[in-house]
Amino acid sequence: MGVRGSAARLGPWMAGAVLALAAAGPALAVPSFAVQTGLSCQACHVGGFGPQLTPYGREFKLRGYTQRTGPFTTPFSAMAVASYLRTRKDQPAQPGFDPNDNVALDQFSLFFASGLGSHLGAFVQGTYDGVGKAWSWDNLDVRAVTTASLGGKPAVLGLSLNNSPTVQDAWNTLPAWGYPYTDSALAPSPTAAPLLAGGLAQTTLGVTGYAWVDSRLYLEGGAYGSPGARTLTDLGADPDSPGKIDGLAPYGRVAYQARIGPRQTLEVGAFALQADIFPGRDRSTGRADRYRDLGLDASYVLDLTRGDVITVETRYIDEQQTLDASTRLGLAANRRNALHDWRADVSYYWRNRIGATVGVFRTTGTADALLYADNRTQKPDSTGVLLQADATPWGDGRGPLGPRANLRVGVQYTVYPEFNGARRNFDGAGAAAGDNDTVRVFAWVAF
């Protein structure tokens, strides 16, 4: 039933530490890191913008955001994303929006992001949801690092305090920073996803320790707990979704990265999470639901001449569920269920400014008459193709406002051959999977 002991005291203590750090000053994003390092956004980010990291960007993150040139710089930044969204058929209207053809401020974020000396660094984000009309804490990654020698090899040893399993990861294969790198809460999306694919984001706090050996081997282990319901509510998170972790949830990660010649980088890895959760924080059954997520991932980066870049990323997650609490509460029909989630994407960036990305995903699993009661087939199965074209004119730091401002504009097209269990009439009311096909035009600015 999870790791017990001092877990009930650990969550509130970590939450207090986070709030104290966030209160120490405003916020910072990618542009502040550019000023700190004296490098353009293209040095750390594929395409010169967004969370997709280059090999150098991975090193910067794994070394605790501490690398800098010159004196201490302003550690605050902001970001805004706005978009126009149209689906093939009208969707249920969200409050304040129409059933279709919506323009929205998807999010506005403030950041504190900086190295604090040579051993401490932080990335702290707070976000206003322009669709839900509410503020909340967002991604958190506070690091302490040092260097050592392991087996005669140079190593970075670190600790990360973070609020979402995989948010601390340096590869864009895992869920927190995986493709697509921007989306909208107005867009339809499939119901089912593994717990590790965002189910614990911003509702947990954890500490993981890691070793980055010879810039090749990455080893990480740690655990996550649930802060108190009132703390999460004050932070703008839903304390009942998915529920409260019983004790602590262990997390582990291993990855190996190799340089293939002067221009190619290949990474292969594995990751795992096990969490026992009281659904909706309901302890009345005396049981918790157990989720065991095991995954594999790989990434490849090819740097061509004149700044052209090709990337390939993929991951697979196998989730086994033992739903002792949910079956007793009438939330699930089966005591044992499974989910299988595979995703992959390929991108090409010309001169590291103009890019195109193709992504695919496939989710399958056990049919459950209660978990997927809104689906005609009672299955979680969904398949999608995600296309994106974008341009980042100022990724080299030579924009009209200098390195403190960056901009990406783009268009996305998402196609659903299968949605929530079927291609046609997935909801029993005649809706087809293709009715959810979505066009989104977006502008993404950081400063």
Rounded Cα gap, residues 156 and 409, in angstroms: 36
Bridge partners of residue 254, in order along the sequence: 219, 270
Whether the CB-CB separation of 31 and 406 falls below 8 Å is answered with yes
Whether the CB-CB separation of 161 and 14 falls below 8 Å is answered with yes
The residue assigned the tokens 């969200």 is 94
Q: Phi, psi at residue 233, to the nearest 5°?
A: -60, -45
Nearest-Å Rg of the Cα atoms of the chain is 21
**Which residue ranges form the domains of the chain, and what is each CATH number?**
7-446 (2.40.160.10)
Q: Phi, psi at residue 194, to the nearest 5°?
A: -60, 155
Rounded Cα gap, residues 171 and 63, in angstroms: 14
Instruction: Report the half-sphere exposure of 285 (CA within 13 A, side-chain side).
Output: 18
Q: What Å distances lie between residue 133 and 82, 130, 220, 446, CA to CA?
A: 14, 5, 36, 20
- Kindly state the tokens that stand for 343: 């995703």
Nearest to 139 by CA among 201, 185, 79, 191: 201
Bridge partners of residue 292, in order along the sequence: 274, 320
Report CA dihedral (62, 63, 64, 67) to the nearest 10 degrees: -130
What element of type H or E holds 62?
Answer: helix 55-62
The residue assigned the tokens 């001169």 is 351
pTM of the model: 0.91
Q: What is the phi-psi region of residue 39: left when phi exceeds 0, alpha when psi lies from -120 to 50, beta otherwise?
A: beta
Q: What is the pLDDT of residue 1?
A: 39
Rounded Cα gap, residues 27 and 23, in angstroms: 10
Tens digit of pLDDT at every position of the chain (447 positions): 333 333 333 333 333 333 333 333 322 334 899 889 999 899 999 999 999 999 999 999 999 999 998 888 889 999 999 999 999 999 999 999 999 999 999 999 999 999 999 999 999 999 999 999 999 999 999 999 999 999 999 999 999 999 999 999 999 999 999 999 999 999 999 999 999 999 999 999 999 999 999 999 999 999 999 999 999 999 999 999 999 999 999 999 999 999 998 999 999 999 999 999 999 999 999 999 999 999 999 999 999 988 899 999 999 999 999 999 999 999 999 999 999 999 999 999 999 999 999 999 999 999 999 999 999 999 999 999 999 999 999 998 888 888 789 999 999 999 999 999 999 999 999 999 999 999 999 999 999
- Cα maximum dimension of the chain: 65
Q: Phi, psi at residue 399, to the nearest 5°?
A: -70, 175
